[in-house]
Amino acid sequence: MSYMAGGRVRLLGAFPGREGEGLGLFIGDGAAPRVARIIDLPGVDPAARMGLEQEIERAADALHHPNIQASLGIGDVDGRASIAVEHADGETLAEILAVGGRLPPEVAARVVHDACVAVHFAHEEGEECGPILHGWLRPSHLLVCRSGVTLVSGFGAGLARSAADLLPWQSPEQVLGGPRAASRRSDVHGLGLVLHACLAGENPFEREPDPEVAMLSRAVPRLEPLGVPAALAGVVRRSLSVKPGERFGDARQLASAIAEAVPGLASPSDVAAWSESLFPAGMGMRVLRQRAVESALAAANGAEPRLPAPAVRPSGPRGRPGPAFRPAPSAAAVAASRTVPLPEPAPSPRAERRATPPTGFRPAPRHPPAAEVAPRPFPRPVPSLAERPDDPFPGEFSLAAPPFPHAARQRDPLESIEIDVFLPDPPPPLRLPLQTRTAGRGVMPIGRVAPLGRRRG
């Protein structure tokens, strides 16, 4: 049992499919236990720990909205700084992008529109002591519930992180001034990054060798070639402007611009149906998470975890019954154990191995008759010398009919390809100008011999 601000936390085990997250019970002061997700916060600066606790406690007290995943408290769980948030069934936007890639424009607009409503509420609710800023909006902090509603979590967590941890999900002013330089327009920039990731499948600066320089000097790639409506692409470009004054004033203006750019905004039921196509109910990770949550609820209520109905197994050969089922754990055993055991799925009768029959007399196996192999044809007889007087190789062997079977050589089709190579003409000979030198009174070219004549005395 670990103590947090406002209650206690009992860690039950790891949350299936999410690294660094656990599933536990949050027991508030005088309140019934609630299922909570325990999220690790590695790399938190000890100097900023006090400020982080104040921001999260402030968000937990003030932020109660249908689009906000409420924070329950912060503390040390198993010696690690962790934050407890209220559990909600659904998948994070990061998981959706990893499985489905780019989102349809209508679905992406609805998801980010709900996030804008939540961020604007946080900005307005904490106006007495300053707006409650997020500072680290990224797909992992957006949860798409099974009802199609998007929840935002992590308010205040980005203000205590280092600048390297926020890359590439931060604004240009945070690159220059650090995480504490966040403002309302910084959260608008973060929402623009999330909207671009939904439409393009990735962060526009994620593949850059130096994301900080790219955020300050390069424009985001255009989204029109990907089939994004021009109006919605313009909203993304304005949200990701380098200068804060060129962006939308607050998250509410961004939400209004998204609704105007996409008239056919998807409804929550449409978002739920689209998410169901990627993560079918009753299959895969959803089944494991549902069983883990049911076991946590059973531990909170002090009841035995509900087990699936056992399937009727066929009896073994010769009337022998199949293997027996393991009894379900009791409530005391579940409460005493730290990690809640999950019920094992009933094996399918098809995958069940057939029991070994008793040993005894067994008839000898019948070997199949051996296949009849036709005799190899004898090679042609070698012609005699009388029949082939002009044979160039008289004797026992002959190239015309060898006495041994041999395989004919197959010609490679590549050997029959002829390639004509045309070489350019050689360059013309180099002609150097004839050099002359002055010899006495006349000019005599170099390399010529003067004619014999009278000597001048």
DSSP letter for each residue of 63-126: ---TTB--EEEEEEETTEEEEEEE--SEEEHHHHHHHH-SPPHHHHHHHHHHHHHHHHHHHHHT
Q: Write phi, then psi, for 206 (nearest 5 degrees).
A: -70, -35
Check: CB of residue 67 under 8 Å from CB of residue 149. Answer: yes
pLDDT at 196 over 90: yes
Question: In DSSP terms, which residues pair with 444 in a beta bridge?
Answer: 437
Residue 301 lies in a domain: no
Of 9, 20, 13, which Cα lies nearest the Cα of 295?
13
For 23, the token pair is 């599933």
Question: Do 38 and 164 lie in a common domain?
Answer: no
Mode of pairing for the β-strands spanning 34-40 and 80-86: antiparallel
pLDDT in tens, 12-54: 888 888 888 888 888 876 677 888 888 887 767 677 777 778 8
Residue 309 lies in a domain: no
Residue 382 lies in a domain: no
**Close Cβ partners of 81 (under 8 Å, ≥ 6 residues apart):** 40, 41, 42, 44, 49, 74, 75
| Averaged pLDDT, 280-306 | 76
Range of the domain at 176: 90-278
Question: Do 109 and 77 lie in a common domain?
Answer: no
Check: CB of residue 185 under 8 Å from CB of residue 239. Answer: no
pLDDT at 82: 83
Of 106, 184, 121, which Cα lies nearest the Cα of 152?
121
pLDDT in tens, 353-378: 444 444 444 555 555 566 666 665 55
**End position of a domain, from candidates 29, 52, 86:** 86
Residue 195 lies in a domain: yes
Q: What is the CATH number of the domain that holds 101?
A: 1.10.510.10
pLDDT in tens, 230-246: 999 999 999 999 999 99
pLDDT in tens, 403-419: 444 444 556 666 666 77
Residue 363 lies in a domain: no
| Averaged pLDDT, 380-397 | 48
Count of domains for the chain: 2
**Close Cβ partners of 160 (under 8 Å, ≥ 6 residues apart):** 44, 45, 48, 49, 51, 52, 55, 179
Question: Do 136 and 38 lie in a common domain?
Answer: no
pLDDT at 149: 95
Residue 244 lies in a domain: yes
pLDDT at 7: 75
Question: Do 15 and 159 lie in a common domain?
Answer: no
pLDDT in tens, 73-85: 888 887 778 888 8
| Averaged pLDDT, 156-179 | 79
Residue 234 lies in a domain: yes
Residue 452 lies in a domain: no
Question: Do 82 and 194 lie in a common domain?
Answer: no
Question: Do 53 and 155 lie in a common domain?
Answer: no
